[in-house]
């Protein structure tokens, strides 16, 4: 079984086997090449083609078959003679001065546009070939004259239209004034095949009318234009794609690093607020599921972009299905543990403990925030805080403070007894009452008194290893009647029910970083400093 090709020789259709076609095509290319520079080339080759067609027809009808095979073509060629035979017979023609079969033997050059060395349409390269001058000078000339009202451009376009493009090897050899020999052709026959393009009637070199040259020019022009925009457009998209790709790669790497950090370096839960919600038991699972839920779409996008830009192979159906399944599973796991974590906030519980304070010597209490705490070794072990430089730990870390919701508040009330008392109410949430209470118990609040100075920790400490369950402590400082409470600016935001700024105003000391209050029967009131207050009568006297 052989593949056949349908060819059209001057209006007659033949079915020809592929091998036979190749032989015929090569033969016709040789023949056309041979007569290329003859004035009667078209007529001669048409005659030959017609004769070949006739011989084919005869063969087909004689042998009662439908397809031309290689042997038929060979028979035809034998009868018609090869190019070598022609060459032999033509030797007489050489002696005939009127014959112009070989025009280029003397090294004369023909003007063609050179498609091999072209910048735009090869006009300058062709001119360079013709005059045997480097094309650059013509380019310069055109570029310079282009400034004279576009003369160079118009001239160039005219030349583009008028000068034919060197299509075949013969053209190119003629363009460079090389001697035209059959041997020269045969060395590069494949290259020239494009000139024939299997269409046996296509005579590009024969008295091409102006219209055809114009058509060539226009198609050339739009081809170039299209190629320019095509390539730049593609390039832009590719560059954009690469930028997006880099972003997604960065994302993927960031995700992997996060996972590694979470799983390897920090075996326990991260003690930074949004993560500290998660229970220790679920932490690993949630990490992995969140990672997969984010990583798989990122990976998918990377693969898609890669396919779009670099035409890489798309993911096989099965791998895509595996990815989708894993992703859905990750989402499911995430949701499952997410609800588990959420369940840990259903109930709430609180307990209260009262710590008696010592009466201060001057009945004044200074409320201060314990910003920097130097933990003793004992504290460190009790709270399981790893000591930092020189065994100190700075718990006044602002970032740390902002991360977790505020979990300490102070209210100041009148004490029923003659002694100040600090009531600490610990609250927390949990999956059940017991659990919530357990969570509340798992905290530690540090408070210290040094005579009149009361130092409050900024936050309630969770015992390491427990997760955040909205633990909070409500402190109620009960001071005896007439006691003076000096509230620091820093602690102000933790203290409920006092207006520090108003009190400062009242005292005309808005630049102070504290304000003093006095416990009255009605509760805490601003203590207006008598030393600063100007009596109305003294005011009159000054006037």
Partner 1 sequence: MIAENTQTQMRKGILEYCILSIIARDETYASDIIAELKKAQLLVVEGTLYPLLTRLKNNGLLTYNWVESTSGPPRKYYALSDDGRRVLEQLDTTWNELVFAVQTAVGKNN
Judged by beta carbon, residue 207 or residue 264, the one nearer partner 1 is 207
> Looking only at residues 2 through 21 of this chain, which bind partner 1 when binding is defined by CB under 8 A?
9-12
Bridging pattern class, strands 408-414 and 421-430: unpaired
Listed in sequence order, the residues at least 6 apart from 492 whose beta carbon sits closer than 8 Å to its beta carbon are: 498, 500
Q: Judged by CB under 8 A, which stretch of 67-75, 88-96, 201-209, 328-336 contacts partner 1?
A: 88-96
Under the criterion CB under 8 A, does residue 67 sit at the interface with partner 1?
A: no
Is the distance from CB of 278 to CB of 467 less than 8 angstroms? yes
User: What distance in Å separates the CA atoms of residue 115 and residue 124, rounded to the nearest whole number?
Assistant: 10
Beta carbon of residue 308, minimum distance to partner 1 (angstroms, whole number)? 53
Judged by beta carbon, residue 99 or residue 181, the one nearer partner 1 is 99
Beta carbon of residue 52, minimum distance to partner 1 (angstroms, whole number)? 9
Under the criterion CB under 8 A, does residue 57 sit at the interface with partner 1?
A: yes
User: What distance in Å separates the CA atoms of residue 366 and residue 456, rounded to the nearest whole number?
Assistant: 11
User: What distance in Å separates the CA atoms of residue 66 and residue 134, rounded to the nearest whole number?
Assistant: 55
CA proximity to 473, closest of 440, 448, 449: 440
Is the distance from CB of 409 to CB of 494 less than 8 angstroms? yes
Total number of residues binding partner 1 (CB under 8 A)?
38
Judged by beta carbon, residue 4 or residue 50, the one nearer partner 1 is 50
Is the distance from CB of 486 to CB of 366 less than 8 angstroms? yes
Sole binder of partner 1 in the list 91, 384, 399, 537 (CB under 8 A): 91
Sole binder of partner 1 in the list 18, 19, 63, 85 (CB under 8 A): 85
CA proximity to 358, closest of 441, 427, 421, 432: 421
Beta carbon of residue 140, minimum distance to partner 1 (angstroms, whole number)? 45
Query: Residue by residue, what is the 3-state secondary structure of 210-259?
Result: HHHHHHHHHHHHHHHHHHHHHHHHHHHHHHHHHHHHHHHHHHHHHHHHHH
User: Where in 39-177 does DSSP place strands (E)?
Assistant: 67-68
> What length is written for the chain?
543
| Long-range residue pairs from 13-16, CB within 8 A, at least 24 positions apart, any chain | 14/53, 14/56, 14/60, 14/68, 15/66, 15/67, 15/68, 16/67, 16/68, 16/73
Beta carbon of residue 48, minimum distance to partner 1 (angstroms, whole number)? 5
Judged by beta carbon, residue 12 or residue 162, the one nearer partner 1 is 12
Under the criterion CB under 8 A, does residue 43 sit at the interface with partner 1?
A: yes
Euclidean distance between the first and the last CA atom of the chain, given in angstroms as a whole number: 129
Judged by beta carbon, residue 10 or residue 520, the one nearer partner 1 is 10
Sole binder of partner 1 in the list 21, 56, 283, 365 (CB under 8 A): 56
Sole binder of partner 1 in the list 69, 93, 157, 308 (CB under 8 A): 93
Listed in sequence order, the residues at least 6 apart from 121 whose beta carbon sits closer than 8 Å to its beta carbon are: 113, 156, 160, 165, 217, 220, 221, 224
Backbone phi and psi for residue 479, each to the nearest 5 degrees, phi listed first:
-115, 150
Sole binder of partner 1 in the list 18, 19, 58, 451 (CB under 8 A): 58
* Ramachandran class of 152: left when φ > 0, alpha when ψ lies in -120 to 50, beta otherwise: alpha
Under the criterion CB under 8 A, does residue 75 sit at the interface with partner 1?
A: no
Sole binder of partner 1 in the list 18, 19, 47, 434 (CB under 8 A): 47
Q: Judged by CB under 8 A, which stretch of 43-51, 189-197, 230-238, 482-490 contacts partner 1?
A: 43-51
Residue 276 host element (H or E): helix 273-276
Sole binder of partner 1 in the list 19, 63, 65, 79 (CB under 8 A): 79
Beta carbon of residue 137, minimum distance to partner 1 (angstroms, whole number)? 41
Sole binder of partner 1 in the list 4, 26, 82, 178 (CB under 8 A): 82
Sole binder of partner 1 in the list 15, 51, 414, 509 (CB under 8 A): 51
Beta carbon of residue 47, minimum distance to partner 1 (angstroms, whole number)? 4
Backbone phi and psi for residue 515, each to the nearest 5 degrees, phi listed first:
-145, 150
Beta carbon of residue 57, minimum distance to partner 1 (angstroms, whole number)? 4
Neighbours of 280 (CB within 10 A): 12
User: What distance in Å separates the CA atoms of residue 226 and residue 190, rounded to the nearest whole number?
Assistant: 27
Q: Judged by CB under 8 A, which stretch of 96-104, 415-423, 481-489, 524-532 contacts partner 1?
A: 96-104
> Looking only at residues 101 through 120 of this chain, which bind partner 1 when binding is defined by CB under 8 A?
101
Beta carbon of residue 43, minimum distance to partner 1 (angstroms, whole number)? 5
Judged by beta carbon, residue 54 or residue 416, the one nearer partner 1 is 54
Judged by beta carbon, residue 61 or residue 538, the one nearer partner 1 is 61
> Looking only at residues 473 through 512 of this chain, which bind partner 1 when binding is defined by CB under 8 A?
none
Where would I find the H helices in 81-134?
83-95, 123-131
Under the criterion CB under 8 A, does residue 44 sit at the interface with partner 1?
A: yes
Sole binder of partner 1 in the list 4, 50, 370, 403 (CB under 8 A): 50
SS3 label, residue 215: helix
Judged by beta carbon, residue 43 or residue 416, the one nearer partner 1 is 43
Tokens of 202: 């296509």
Residues that bind partner 1 (CB under 8 A): 9-12, 31, 35, 38-40, 43-44, 47-48, 50-51, 53-58, 61, 78-82, 85-86, 89-93, 95-96, 99, 101
């Amino acid at each position: 079984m052989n593949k056949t090709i349908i060819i059209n020789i001057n209006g007659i259709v033949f079915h020809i086997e592929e091998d036979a076609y190749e032989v015929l095509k090569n033969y016709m290319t040789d023949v056309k090449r041979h007569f290329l520079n003859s004035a009667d080339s078209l007529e001669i080759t048409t005659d030959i083609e017609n004769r070949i067609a006739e011989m084919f027809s005869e063969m087909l009808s004689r042998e009662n078959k439908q397809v031309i095979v290689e042997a038929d073509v060979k028979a035809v060629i034998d009868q018609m003679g090869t190019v070598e035979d022609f060459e032999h017979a033509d030797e007489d023609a050489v002696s005939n001065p009127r014959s112009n079969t070989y025009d280029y033997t003397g090294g004369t050059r023909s003007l063609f546009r050179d498609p091999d060395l072209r910048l735009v349409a090869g006009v300058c390269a062709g001119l360079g070939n013709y005059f045997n001058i480097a094309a650059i000078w013509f380019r310069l000339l055109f570029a310079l004259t282009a400034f004279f009202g576009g003369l160079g451009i118009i001239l160039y376009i005219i030349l583009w239209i008028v000068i034919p493009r060197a299509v075949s090897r013969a053209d190119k050899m003629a363009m460079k004034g090389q001697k035209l020999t059959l041997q020269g052709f045969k060395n590069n026959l494949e290259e020239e095949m494009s000139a024939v393009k299997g269409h046996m009637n296509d005579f590009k070199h024969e008295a091409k009318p102006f219209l055809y040259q114009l058509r060539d020019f226009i198609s050339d022009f739009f081809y170039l234009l299209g190629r320019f925009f095509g390539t730049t457009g593609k390039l832009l998209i590719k560059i954009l794609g690469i930028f997006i790709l880099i972003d997604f790669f960065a994302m993927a790497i960031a995700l992997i690093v996060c996972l590694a950090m979470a799983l390897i370096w920090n075996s326990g839960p991260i003690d930074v607020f949004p993560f500290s919600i998660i229970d220790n038991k679920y932490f690993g699972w949630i990490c992995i599921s969140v990672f997969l839920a984010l990583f798989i779409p990122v990976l998918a996008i990377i693969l898609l972009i890669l396919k779009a830009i670099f035409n890489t192979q798309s993911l096989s159906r099965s791998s895509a299905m595996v990815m989708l399944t894993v992703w859905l599973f990750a989402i499911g796991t995430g949701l499952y543990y997410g609800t588990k974590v959420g369940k840990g906030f259903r109930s709430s519980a609180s307990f209260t403990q009262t710590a008696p304070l010592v009466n201060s010597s001057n009945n004044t209490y200074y409320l201060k925030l314990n910003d920097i705490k130097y933990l003793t070794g004992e504290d460190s072990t009790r709270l399981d805080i790893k000591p930092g430089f020189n065994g100190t730990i700075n718990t006044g870390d602002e970032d740390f403070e902002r991360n977790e919701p505020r979990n300490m508040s102070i209210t100041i009330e009148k004490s029923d007894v003659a002694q100040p008392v600090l009531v600490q109410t610990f609250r927390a949430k949990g999956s059940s009452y017991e659990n919530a209470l357990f969570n509340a118990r798992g905290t530690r609040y540090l408070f210290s008194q040094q005579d009149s100075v009361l130092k409050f920790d900024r936050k309630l400490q969770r015992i390491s290893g427990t997760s955040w369950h909205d633990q909070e402590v409500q402190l109620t400082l009960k001071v005896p009647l007439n006691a003076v409470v000096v509230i620091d600016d820093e602690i102000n935001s933790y203290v409920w029910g006092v207006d520090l700024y108003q009190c400062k105003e009242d005292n005309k000391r808005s630049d102070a970083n504290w304000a003093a209050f006095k416990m009255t029967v009605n509760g805490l009131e601003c203590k207006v400093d008598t030393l600063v207050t100007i009596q109305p009568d003294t005011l009159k006297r000054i006037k």
